[in-house]
Structure 1
Amino acid sequence: MLQKTKQLITPALSILLAFLASAAIISLTGRDPLMIFQKMSMAIFGSQYGLGQVIFRLGTLTLVGLAVAVPYRLRLFNIGGEGQLQMGAFAAAMAGSFIPEFYPGPAASFLCILAAMAAGGCWALFAGALKIRFGINEVISTIMLNFIAQGITGYLLTYHFALPSTVHTPSVVPGAFIPPLESFSGLFAGSPANASIF
């Protein structure tokens, strides 16, 4: 019982401390923290679009959080979630642009998800290999790999995959997109919230 209570209190205290720290920083800038928090609440809960934006980001952050939480159970500190996300997103986008348009939607989405998982997993594999072969601490290697992933994806998107004379990359086939929540629930109109939250 005490353990369960502690599990509830710890996140609640973390949230409270985050709000207090935010309020202190906002006050230092000469603004009213309550007014800022009110505007934040209105931006989130004041429209379906705002709530949809939160749900969209929640799905992404949850997946990245799992990339940290699972290794942590093995006493490994994976700080490379950002880089793994970038490599996975890049692989998914490239796969989506190469898939023929006649592929059925679920198959196209599945292939993009597989590409993302493979790319993100392979990027994490570098840190594991460095730890096993050279004993390099995974905190250091995964942080450094974040910046390397950012540089690689930025370079490839700018110089190899951008359409000539534009800053755009090839379009992803429509069937490869994860269905938006709006398409089957009618909610969160115009927002990028999609079925990945499930």
Structure 2
Amino acid sequence: MSVPTENDHTALIEQIRLGDSAAMAEYVERKRAQLLAFIQSRIGGPLRKKIEPEDILQDASLEAVKSLDKIDLSERDPINWVFQICERKIIDAHRRHFASQKRDASREAVLPEGSQGGGGIANLLIASMTTPSEAFSRDQRQLRMLAALDTLPEEQREALRLRYLVGLPSKEIAAKMGKSDGAMRVMLSRSLAKLQDMLVD
């Protein structure tokens, strides 16, 4: 595989500044090593026992893709913006795991039986892609999400289900599906970018 040139990098940033979510997904994947190093430098030992840096990066990647149309990057380096998202995800993870030591154990439980259908994953993906002010339209968005999911190959739907419904890290999904971790991350990022584009069309 050829190494991206400086011209390739510049062209990719220009696509990002034009709002191309697929370009953002590719950019984050190219910068994966740098972003992981940033996350690992800021994630403490206790949190590391609860969540993998790769999982924080995956969540940050999703937010970067879905929020691209809400940010002006014309005068900003995209990497600095993604760093900020990673920082927020680390803070969110700390709050989620350590804010209440008396948290009900049921919040750590796996999803109940019967929640693994198309409607379940649609609801989870919609919740991650909408703000509270958009909640009124979620029924309609669920129908659109289900229709969008149906357009994906079965392998991509299963990967999304394992990541966002079951909660497996990308490396475990890759092992289950006979792929490399890198290939699985690319599949997840591209699938999410496609779903996001279909939702906003």
Name the TM-score, length of structure 1 as normaliser. Answer: 0.35
